[in-house]
Amino acid sequence: MRLKDLGKRGFVNPTFLLINRADHLTLKLLIKHLEKNFGIKPQMLSFKSSTIDEIIDIIHAGSLFASHNLFIIDDLESIKKSQMNDLTPHFSNLLAENAVFVLIKNKTRISDKLLKTGKLVRLALDIEEDVVTWIRAYFKRAGLEITRKSIDLLIDWYHDNLESLEAELEKIRHYFHDEKIVDTNKLTLILSDSPVVNAIKFSEATIKKNKKAALCQIGKMREWDLNLHMVIGTMTGYLIRKLEKSYADVSIFEDLRRLVELDVITKSRTQLPWYHLELYTINN
């Protein structure tokens, strides 16, 4: 289901939202759409920062100053399935005026009994309607016009790492502070020289077994004096997301195992971390 389709029409209380990623940008867009469609600003709750009893009290009582309430509950996976089962009666009789959305990252960790109290929806960002619109609005607020070609360039490089895209836009904006439009050629040069993009491109090249391109990116990252473990983290994220799309690909498990070994080695037993990353790339 697309974000724009999350509205009062057909809403089942509670609704469990299965999302591929829970990065800051995705949550920001989710909150924006829910506020627009329900006419209420959502209140964020988390099973990590609040007790189960506290959350139950909040979603049942709502606000004394509002006739309708909208809640987004995160981190359901942080509690045990037995505790989820205890939540079932409380989720089964929610008041209609207190709309509840529960974020889920891993369906297998959620109690089936709890899921039956509401509706499970697989939510995905729509690149055209969500990300493109958000990028264009971001630069408009900064007093800049951005062409579709430049937007496509940003999405092409950051589509699998939207959280980094959000952080990078702030930096990119400053390169054009005295201009009226984001020039695509200049943007290409900026992105090509970005340490985060270097890490992303290294990950892509390594996964595609393009050793020459991957080694080239290692050279650029060393020049940036980039944190090696950020690179390993980026690579790990790529592998995990690929694993989500291809459960049968056993080679990914081996790649992840070797990445863990690399992480341990570079943290504890070596003064030459980049040398080990080069070896990993060559032998991968």
pLDDT per residue over 44-73, tens digit each? 999 999 999 999 999 988 876 777 899 999
Q: 158 Cβ partners below 8 Å, 6+ apart?
A: 164, 165, 168, 197, 200
* Domain residue ranges in the chain: 3-123, 127-192, 197-283
pLDDT score of 18 more than 60: yes
pTM of the model: 0.64
Evaluate whether 89 touches 6 at the Cβ level (below 8 Å): no
Domain 3-123: which topology? Rossmann fold (3.40.50)
pLDDT score of 269 more than 60: no
pLDDT of residue 271: 58
Distances (CA, A) of 31 to 41, 60, 74, 129, 209: 8, 20, 13, 15, 39
Overall CATH class of domain 127-192: mainly alpha
